[in-house]
Structure 1
Amino acid sequence: MTTTGCCLENFDHTPSESASFGVWERKRKEHVDKTSKTPNKTPQGDRFIPNRNMMNIEVSRLHLQQEIPGKENKQQNNTFQDALLESNSEWRKNFFSSSSSSTCHHYQSALASSLLQNSYHEERSQSKILTFKQKAPKPQEGYVNSLKVLYSQNVLPISEQRRRMIRHIPQTPDRILDAPELVDDYYLNLLDWSHENMLAVALGSSVYLWNANTGDIQELCNVPQDEMICSVSWVPDGHHLAVGTSMNDVQLWDTHRGRQVRKMHSHSSRVGCLAWNGPILSSGSRDTTIHHHDVRIAQHHIETLRGHEQEVCGLKWNVDGTQLASGGNDNLLMVWDNLHSSQPKYRLDQHLAAVKAIAWCPWQSHLLASGGGTADRTIKFWNTTTGSCLQSIDTKSQVCALLWNRHDKEIVSSHGFSQNQLIVWKYPSMVKIAELTGHTSRVLHLAASPDGQTVVSGAGDETLRFWRIFEAAESKLDSSSKTWRSSQKSMMKTCNIR
């Protein structure tokens, strides 16, 4: 222990002979001998460990502080050179005491100038970088954000946003009416609501009108007992009603006077669907054809559309009257481009069952929704400009009717077995908003009130149920109703039924 301690004590000054030949010295010599020899192959290592014994740290620090060409820092470099000429301890004392604050100041100034493109001492009101404050700096007087209109033009008032978030859809109908002899036939269209708040419903061989304002009921017309009414459709002015019968004809009735205006016979089988486009009435029949009737002239039959192979059970014009959609028992959905098309623009065959449920989007004229029967059970959305299917939703039951919300991006569908329900969907996410049950048979027909808020459903259980489904702000409701009335009046100025 004594000898070892003595060796360690004299190591830095006069090492002994025995210490110089210690174990560690022999290992060092062996390592030098090995590294001095030329290796057989080039080392493949990826690390470089510098030999710091050959480096002078103080000289290197001096070189780092020397003048850089083009920079005005001669005075600062002279200060560092003078400091480095002193002793090591004195240099450290001066550097950390006097030069540290100056160096830190210049470093912060350079950093701020680089990041903010401005001097460190100048105020920059529109930037929070390197600024520690509780509140953001105020903009200059008169400053207007150019993006304010872009991000605020579609923002709803807070009161309306809150009202929409908590919108409640009642699960029970507001009113239930008996509808005896309402035919349980999937291919017929027996319900329509006029813009004068008159509901027309076909019960067996008769057509009844129910005044939603007063609750009065009147029988408008009837056909022989062995025949039946197959379809009803209000003309846009609200004064006349088109009636399709199983006697292969289409009748026009003046509801104010309670008399028949004319009868149009052109089909060879029952007329199960009707659709108006201004003064033009389109009718779909079991004879697989679609006829266009101009009610202003004596020779009313102006065009015949052929494309379906079985009964035409769905027929709707889009909002601007440029395209007609038809659905048939042949599982086909067709889009016709104008009144005089000999061939359909698109022949869409993706449904696997009869296509009766057809609804055009009220705010986008080339967006079409269609629903399939029992073997299909899907709601499909189509772009009728390109003919592409945008999406398809499996509803798990027969789709009987579709109806869009005129005030918001929603759509309601009615179904058959097994729930016989109505479903309110949010478009385009197709998330279920509400599911309304109560009917005991398939819900075949849907119609909307003039204000677009109440939906009436007709089912095979011989009842009519009125649901408060949709809701709109008063301002939007007034503007939409005025726009609709003005457009209908302008469209019907040239419509003189003969």
Structure 2
Amino acid sequence: MDVQISGRMLGCLLGKRRPLPLKGQNEADELAYKRFKTCIIQGSSRGGPAASTPLPSGRRCNPRIEFETICQRLELESSPRDPKQAQDVPQTRMQDLQTSVSSPQQHSITVRRSSDTETYKKVQWIWRAAVQPHDSSQQADSNERKPDLKPFANMNVQGMAQRTLWAPSLLNDYCKKKCYEQGDTNLLDCSCDGMIALALGSTVYLWNSETRALVGHFQPSLEPGSPRCRTHTISCLSWSGDGRTLCTGNRRGEIQLWDVDHKQSMWCFKSHLSVVGAVSWKQRLLSSGSTLGHIHHLDPRAPSPVLGAAFQEEGICSLEWSPGNELLASGSKEGLLHIWEGDVAGIKTPCKPVISMKQPSSVKALGWCPWQRKVIATGGGWKDGQLRIWDTQSGSCLKSINTNSQICCLRWAEKRRYLITGHGLPHNLITSWSWEFPSLNPMHQLTGHSQRVLHLAINPDNTNIFSAGADQRFCLWDL
């Protein structure tokens, strides 16, 4: 039944009151209102749809993202609307290219959203080899020349560090009010071959710790006219066990793998709808955690890379597999340390942690003990300052010591049986600890950073420590 009714009458009907009579309103309008009301009452009593006026097509709601489980198997942050679209997951295997030192290499990657049919703007990732370094002796003798602020350029700073280099544009979101919503969990890592990877903004630099020379860097090169935004910023990175593949996560929720030998991008996948807070390898598998609390287990070799998923209510600010790949630890900004089972393949529903532990501050600094595989260490923030050793089987704290300082990061040195911690306020130093159950004793303190020590790495021989601080310095220390 076609019924004409004014917008004023419809609004009054929804408000459960009759419209006020308007000046000049005729009896036809009153009759139309009564007929419209009668149709609605009769439709409600019969259980059928009530008559209504159609909405204009320009104001119809057209949802673009549907939040649902994928075949009742995984609870992901978003899922494709079309099952065929799952085959279009952004996953790229680049062909082998010849490495050229004199000219940059460009690789074009088109990344699709996992939730709709729109595509991102095409991003070209460029590898640039390092140029010949400037003569540091001439720079030191010249008082008129300004300091070179290029990454890994020498700094003439007195301190205990063997060498101090520039690390400009190193992100420092630690001190912000919502410090962990931006990610930036670990931007420094050392491979089994001694290759240092350091993320400065949206660029990843490779520095050879044996030759003490800059190798080159990866950086995104957008199309002309496209503004460079913070979503391209690298939020975390991690080397694979064999040192041939570098994994990076950014603020767009993308996971990208780099073939360092061929200087090319191997694989790119839109894993999250939020910032990738942390990544960790399990042999050839990869786990990533987002600041929304989602953990995805990925196999880059599979057509459908997502193998399993887990979820915690708090945002993830640390993630690490145990040395034997038996357990996965995730730290939250609410101070919870969760331990997850190592079997991630074939999970039908999002799993729950095996055990959870609580500390007063965010669990950003986290690391498994290499020689005691059920033991994990965590560091507290500036309101806490406690260095804790946990037994993940019982959930009990084996040892806790007050450092009177903010703990921003930590690493284990297996060959020395040391635990290395990087601190913030008030001293901004690096401390080495000897750990033999049940004793935890400080051994050395290294000073040289003027602000927070944000990231730490240790070379394979456990002879050197590498640190990156909020003072834009990259330091090399003799352990």
TM-score range, shorter chain: 0.5 to 0.7
1:345 aligned to 354, 358, 363, which one? 354
SS at match of 2:364: strand
1:203 aligned to 185, 197, 200, which one? 200
1:260 aligned to 232, 251, 265, which one? 265
**Percent identity at matched positions?**
37
Q: State the 4+ residue runs in structure 1 displaced beyond 4 angstroms.
A: none
Is the 1:357–1:370 Cα contact (8 Å) retained in structure 2? yes
How far apart in 2 are the matches of 1:424 and 1:321? 26
Question: Offset at 1:437?
Answer: 1.0
Once the two structures are superposed, residues 452-482 of structure 1 have per-residue CA deviations (whole angstroms, 9 ceiling, x without a partner) of: 221101111111111111xxxxxxxxxxxxx
Question: Offset at 1:374?
Answer: 2.1
Query: Is 2:379 the partner of 1:371?
Result: yes
How far apart in 2 are the matches of 1:452 and 1:223? 36
Question: Offset at 1:211?
Answer: 1.5
Once the two structures are superposed, residues 352-402 of structure 1 have per-residue CA deviations (whole angstroms, 9 ceiling, x without a partner) of: 111111111111111111112222211111111222111111111111111
How far apart in 2 are the matches of 1:213 and 1:407? 18
How far apart in 1 are the matches of 2:219 and 2:302? 24
Q: 1:463 to 1:222 in 2, by over 3 A?
A: farther
Matched AA of 1:226: C
Question: Offset at 1:288?
Answer: 1.1
The answer to which structure, 1 or 2, has the higher relative contact order (CA under 8 A, 6+ apart) is 2
How far apart in 1 are the matches of 2:337 and 2:161? 32
TM-score by length of 1: 0.58
Q: Which residue is 1:315 aligned to?
A: 319
Matched AA of 1:235: S
Question: Offset at 1:336?
Answer: 0.8
Question: Offset at 1:203?
Answer: 0.3
Is the 1:399–1:416 Cα contact (8 Å) retained in structure 2? yes
Question: Offset at 1:213?
Answer: 2.7
Q: Which residue is 1:180 aligned to?
A: 168
Instruction: Specify every segment of 5 or more residues in structure 2 that has no aligned partner in the other structure, as ranges.
Output: 1-157, 175-179, 223-227, 345-349
How far apart in 2 are the matches of 1:433 and 1:370? 18
Query: Is 2:188 the partner of 1:191?
Result: yes
- How is 1:10-49 mapped onto 2 (pairs within 5 angstroms)? none
How far apart in 1 are the matches of 2:355 and 2:446? 34
Q: Which residue is 1:446 aligned to?
A: 456
Q: Which residue is 1:482 aligned to?
A: none
How far apart in 1 are the matches of 2:271 and 2:412? 32
Q: Which residue is 1:251 aligned to?
A: 256
Once the two structures are superposed, residues 214-235 of structure 1 have per-residue CA deviations (whole angstroms, 9 ceiling, x without a partner) of: 3133012337631211011111
Once the two structures are superposed, residues 171-198 of structure 1 have per-residue CA deviations (whole angstroms, 9 ceiling, x without a partner) of: 7111111111000123411001111211
Higher alpha-carbon Rg: 1
2:210 aligned to 193, 208, 213, which one? 213
Query: Is 2:288 the partner of 1:283?
Result: yes
How far apart in 1 are the matches of 2:220 and 2:453? 24
1:302 aligned to 304, 307, 310, which one? 307
How far apart in 1 are the matches of 2:451 and 2:457? 17
Matched AA of 2:336: L
Aligned residues: 298
Is the 1:231–1:243 Cα contact (8 Å) retained in structure 2? yes
Question: Offset at 1:267?
Answer: 0.7
How far apart in 2 are the matches of 1:410 and 1:236? 21
TM-score by length of 2: 0.60
Is the 1:242–1:250 Cα contact (8 Å) retained in structure 2? yes
SS at match of 1:355: coil
Is the 1:303–1:339 Cα contact (8 Å) retained in structure 2? no
Is the 1:401–1:444 Cα contact (8 Å) retained in structure 2? yes
Is the 1:362–1:406 Cα contact (8 Å) retained in structure 2? yes
How far apart in 1 are the matches of 2:314 and 2:354? 19
Is the 1:233–1:275 Cα contact (8 Å) retained in structure 2? yes
Once the two structures are superposed, residues 278-325 of structure 1 have per-residue CA deviations (whole angstroms, 9 ceiling, x without a partner) of: 011111111211111112212111111112x33211111111100111
Instruction: Specify every segment of 5 or more residues in structure 1 that has no aligned partner in the other structure, as ranges.
Output: 1-169, 470-498
2:419 aligned to 411, 415, 421, which one? 411
How far apart in 2 are the matches of 1:274 and 1:242? 8
How far apart in 2 are the matches of 1:315 and 1:223? 29
2:434 aligned to 426, 444, 450, which one? 426
Root-mean-square deviation (CA, aligned residues, Å) is: 1.6
- How is 1:3-402 mapped onto 2 (pairs within 5 angstroms)? 172-186=160-174, 187=180, 188=184, 189-214=186-211, 215-222=213-220, 225-227=228-230, 228-307=233-312, 309-340=313-344, 342-349=351-358, 351-402=359-410
Is the 1:292–1:339 Cα contact (8 Å) retained in structure 2? no
Matched AA of 2:191: S
How far apart in 1 are the matches of 2:420 and 2:221? 33
